[in-house]
Amino acid sequence: MNVNEQMQELKEFIINFNIDINTDDGLTTEIETAFTQSHAADGWFHGVLALGIPYMGMFLPIIIVFIIFYFQAKTDRDKYSAMIEVSKSVKDPAVIEDLLNSFKEEKKSPRDYRKDGVTTSFTGIGLYLFGEIFLGSLLKGVGALVFTIGVGLIVAGYLYPRESEEINKAVEDFEKR
């Protein structure tokens, strides 16, 4: 007998194999009852998980936002209470004014569109290459879109100068025309 015939016999044996259990003695009922009792305690846990996980998924971002606001307010409250304590011991109003100015938020410098554009462009190139190598045309399109946004930011960086010296130079160049 060759290997193909042995494989064929094994397939026929597996296909035609069945077990005949005599259920007159109630063996099936005992097996089902034992199975049901062993998993009855898991029912409440699975129910809690089935309902709890979606609720946590919905409420977790809200909880995170509240935590951020709570600690930001706590930091501000501590900062101002410290400022009040220090101002009680200081008699010179100029020092108090300097203290108030030090607690004010610093002005943010203007955006550097050129730097942001280069970063965004290379992110787009990376997404495009990732789509080219692994995932296909969808990610290639997303990468091309992000790249063009980056190129737009670079162009905006040259059209809208951010430093006062660059603004003065742009005005002088415009006045020469």
The encoded tokens of residue 57 equal: 């998924």
Residues 115 and 177 in one domain: yes
Residues 141 and 102 in one domain: no
DSSP one-letter code for 2: -
Q: What is the mean pLDDT of residues 73-86?
A: 84
Residues 177 and 115 in one domain: yes
Select, from the ranges 32-46, 59-73, 126-140, the one with the highest average predicted confidence (pLDDT). 59-73
Note whether residue 13 is domain-resident. no
pLDDT at 18: 54
Note whether residue 39 is domain-resident. no
Range of the domain at 172: 108-177
Domain count across the chain: 2
Q: Which amino acid is at 26?
A: G
Torsion sign across C-alpha atoms 70, 76, 77, 78: positive
Residues 112 and 142 in one domain: yes
Note whether residue 8 is domain-resident. no
pLDDT at 70: 94
User: pLDDT, tens digit, for every residue of 95-147?
Assistant: 777 777 777 766 666 677 888 889 999 999 998 888 888 877 778 888 899 99
The encoded tokens of residue 23 equal: 């259920």
The closest alpha carbon to 21, from 34, 32, 11, belongs to 32
Residue ending a domain, among 106, 130, 151, is 106
Give the CA distances from residue 69 to residues 62, 73, 74, 78, 176, in Å, rounded to whole numbers and listed in that order: 11, 6, 8, 14, 52
Residues 102 and 113 in one domain: no
pLDDT at 14: 65
Q: State the CB neighbour count (10 A cutoff) for residue 117.
A: 20
What is the percentage of the chain residues whose pLDDT exceeds 70?
71
pLDDT band at 151 (very low <50, low <70, confident <90, very high): very high
Q: Widest CA span of the chain, in angstroms?
A: 109
Residue ending a domain, among 72, 89, 106, is 106
More confident residue, 167 or 173: 173
pTM above 0.85, yes or no: no
Residue ending a domain, among 106, 123, 140, is 106
